[in-house]
Amino acid sequence: MNRISKTLKEKDNILSIYFTAGFPELNSTIEIIKNLVSAGVDMIEIGLPFSDPLADGETIQMSSKIALDNGISTNILFEQLKEIRNHVNIPLIIMGYFNPIFQFGVEEFCKKCNEIGIDGLIIPDLPIDIYLSNYKIIFEKNQLQNIFLITPQTNKKRIEYIDKNSDGFLYVVSSSSITGSTNKFDESSINYFKKLEKMNLSTPKIIGFGISDNENFNTASKYSKGCIVGSAFIKYIQKNGLKNIHNFINQIKIVN
């Protein structure tokens, strides 16, 4: 069983942390992953930097620019991760835009992911129809789950279509804003979560965008299997470095 599916089956209140590969230093990637695992997170999303990150807010754009200036590339990331499964058992997901993956070669990219033990991909700008017609067979061959995003603007019919063609989880974008822009869920976000609940979707949901503290984590976890934290974590390691990651995780979720 794919590690993502296993985690979703066995756990609730899942905490997934996103960070940008190559930030704050080129070779920070493995140290961050090991520290996150030690701190008790349930999944990790490794951001593949891109020069034009349309869905990302100022914080992740900043981290991507620094990572690219540091010299991160797809090849370097794969080299950094080549022995990661000697140290880590939790699900690892690469999140990035389609252009760098296309330039690398989709089949070769997926093959590399499979070789090093990546469990899934999140590609915000890859439409589901293109995925199904052109790339699904490649993902399945390489035991990769493709995680789709749904937003408050995604209509009911489209959500049902995405749900029908999904494995892993649905990445529920909590608002129409870019990443890192929400301090507290407003009434419209809560109503959106409730609407999704009533749809009785077959794919588990994990909520992202705007999760920055324990209050948001607990609220979102009432309506999903858990939460994704990105911008708040990047701000934390920019300010505090990599040595006190446990403190940040405990601010979001009390880990036993």
CA-to-CA dists, residue 180 to 56, 144, 233, angstroms: 8, 27, 10
pLDDT of 121-137, one tens digit each? 999 999 999 999 999 99
Provide the CA 231 distance to its chain's centre, in angstroms: 11
* Predicted pLDDT of residue 180: 43
Whether residue 46 contacts residue 95, with contact meaning beta carbons closer than 8 Å, is answered with yes
CA 128 remoteness from chain centre:
17
CA distance 70 to 224: 36
pLDDT above 70 as % of the chain: 94
Q: What is the pLDDT of residues 182-209, one digit of tens each?
A: 467 888 999 999 999 999 999 999 999 8
Q: What is the pLDDT of residue 183?
A: 60
Per the domain annotation, does 211 fall within a domain? Answer: yes
pLDDT for the residue 56: 66
pLDDT higher than threshold 90 for residue 57: no
Say how far apart CA 103 and CA 105 lie, in whole Å. Answer: 5
Output the furthest CA–CA distance in the chain (Å, rounded): 46
pTM value is 0.94
Residue 255 lies in a domain: no
- The beta strand positions in the chain, using DSSP E, are 14-20, 43-48, 92-96, 120-122, 145-147, 149-150, 170-173, 205-208, 226-229
| For residue 24, cis peptide bond before it (omega within 30 degrees of 0) | yes
Number of domains in the chain: 1
* Amino acid 181: pLDDT: 45
- Residue-level pLDDT at 171: 97
Percent of the chain with pLDDT over 90: 83
Here the CATH number for the domain that contains residue 154 is 3.20.20.70
Which alpha helices (DSSP H) does 71-144 contain, by range? 74-81, 98-104, 106-116, 128-130, 136-141
Cα-trace Rg, the chain = 17
Domain assignment of residue 256, yes or no: no
163 is a domain residue: yes
Q: Is residue 254 part of a domain?
A: no
* pLDDT confidence band for 175 (50 / 70 / 90): confident
Q: Is residue 42 assigned to a domain?
A: yes
46 in any annotated domain: yes
Question: Average pLDDT, stretch 8-19?
Answer: 96
**Mean per-residue pLDDT, 82-87:** 96
Residue numbers of the domain that contains 77: 3-249
Lowest mean pLDDT among 24-28, 50-54, 132-136: 50-54
Active site (catalytic) residues: 45, 56
Which of 25-34, 37-46, 116-125, 171-180 has the lowest average pLDDT?
171-180
